Amino acid sequence: MAGSGGLGGGAGGSQGAGGGPGATLRAPRAPLLFAALVLGAYCLCALPGRCPPAGRIPAPAPAPAEPPRAARSPGTSGLPVASGSGRRRFPQALIVGVKKGGTRALLEFLRLHPDVRALGSEPHFFDRCYERGLAWYRSLMPRTLDGQITMEKTPSYFVTREAPRRIHGMSPATKLIVVVRNPVTRAISDYAQMLSKTPGLPSFGTLAFRRGLGPVDTAWSAVRIGLYAQHLDNWLRYFPLSRFLFVSGERLVSDPARELGHVQDFLGLKRVVTDKHFYFNATKGFPCLKKAQGSGRPRCLGKSKGRPHPRVPEAMVQRLRAFYRPFNRKFYQMTGQDFGWD
């Protein structure tokens, strides 16, 4: 793989440099320095980042002109006909996880609903920026009218130990959405994203296993995120299971309208987003949004979505499947849902 080749090439280049004792002592420095730089860059990708400066999170755009609920006219399919400003509220619902599960797709699909207003960027408040305070967090939110739902999504919340307590402190009535995906394919997708940002990464197998094809390394974030049952245990200390909706990342691709129906029901919304809004893009391998009336063209998610996965040997895939199996089964029992990963 690209990461292994990069490290090997650096070592090979240094072996032919010079001769004598002095050269023997100096030669290893270049490859070791290169390896250190690569691993340092990997750590920056894999570990949670710092809270971004306030200027890095764009201020929410003003709400479009919408009326109070009573000002809707008959025969307009519930569309607003007058103006109103609304106010900023704490989110009543959060998409809290998981990374590379399909959270961006779910958020973009939900934003089609006229009663959903969502922050487009990930504020990372409950994991990185909590010290900025709840007033700062609320100031990021879009304006909403009574009856509309404010949402945001930050997938790293699900694996952040402090996040459940902090969110409960904001509101114990918060609705929590978790998009889950087969943890093996999720880990490979996570690695593909890391590799696109840091081409010199070690191979997937080097990071996922200790000592060659030894024990699975749960210290690596791409593996650890997939231990859904362990993370959910932490959340259930603060929220009952009834506050959660678990969305299948696989079904979000194969049948987005059905999954969006469940999400709209969970949020107490009318089923406005239906199969008429989607078409399957065979090139990308996932659903895209059909063009809305008056818009220019259909809309798919960005170039980073649907990127090809690196080839991982089947023996490694099977080892990971066996490793995750007991965790998956416990997760099925906890949620009352069989996601069919085994």
Tokens of 253: 């691709």
Q: Tell whether residue 270 is among the known ligand binding residues.
A: no
Does the annotation flag 305 for ligand binding?
yes
- Per residue, what are the HEC states of 21-87? HHHHHHCCHHHHHHHHHHHHHHHHHHCCCCCCCHHHCCCCCCCCCCCCHHHCCCCCCCCCCCCCCCE
183 has binding-site annotation: no
CA–CA separation, 102 and 95 (whole Å): 10
Q: Is 237 annotated as a binding residue?
A: no
Tokens found for residue 117: 């207003």
Catalytic residue numbers read 100
Give the alpha-carbon dihedral of 139, 142, 143, 148, to 10 degrees.
-130
Q: Is 181 annotated as a binding residue?
A: yes
Q: Is 309 annotated as a binding residue?
A: yes
The whole-angstrom separation of Cα 147 and Cα 150 is: 10
Residue 340, annotated ligand binder? Answer: no
Single-letter residue type at 268:
G
Give the three-class secondary structure for 335: helix
Cβ-defined contacts of 260-264 (< 8 Å, 24+): 260/106, 260/109, 260/110, 263/106, 263/110, 263/177, 264/113
- Written as one letter, the residue type at 171 is S
Q: Tell me whether residue 100 is annotated as binding.
A: yes
Q: Alpha helix locations (H) across 47-120?
A: 103-110
Is 307 marked as a binding-site residue?
yes
101 in a known ligand binding site: yes
165 carries a ligand binding annotation: no
d(CA 169, CA 287): 36
Q: Name, in order, each residue with C-beta under 8 angstroms of 128's C-beta and a sequence gap of 6 or more.
A: 48, 49, 50, 51, 52
Instruction: Point out the annotated binding site.
Output: 100-104, 181, 189, 305-309
Positions at the binding site for 3'-phosphoadenylyl sulfate = 100-104, 181, 189, 305-309
